Amino acid sequence: MLEAIVAVVVVLLIATGVLLMFGPRTVFGKIRSLRNRASVPALFEPRRPRDVVQRAVNPKTQRVLVAAARLANWMRAHGHEEVSREIRSSAARIMANEPAGLYALQTTLRRVRVVNVTDSASQERLKTLAGELQTAVKDRFEQLELLPFRKP
- Mean pLDDT, the chain, rounded, equals 82
Query: Residue 28 has what pLDDT?
Result: 63
| Domain spans, the chain | 2-44, 59-144
Give the 3-state secondary structure percentages of the chain, helix then strand then coil, rounded to 5: 75, 0, 25
DSSP assignment of 53-65 equals: -PPP--HHHHHHH
- Distance in angstroms (rounded) separating the CA atoms of residues 132 and 43: 54
Name every residue whose Cβ is closer than 8 Å to that of residue 127 and which is 6 or more positions away in sequence.
none
Highest mean pLDDT among 6-10, 49-53, 80-84, 122-126: 6-10
Contact (CB, 8 A) for 112 and 83: yes
**pLDDT, tens only, 20-79:** 777 766 666 666 666 555 555 555 667 777 666 666 788 899 999 999 999 999 999 988
Closest CA to 115 of 126, 125, 106: 126
Query: Residue 105 has what pLDDT?
Result: 92
pLDDT, average across residues 87-92: 92
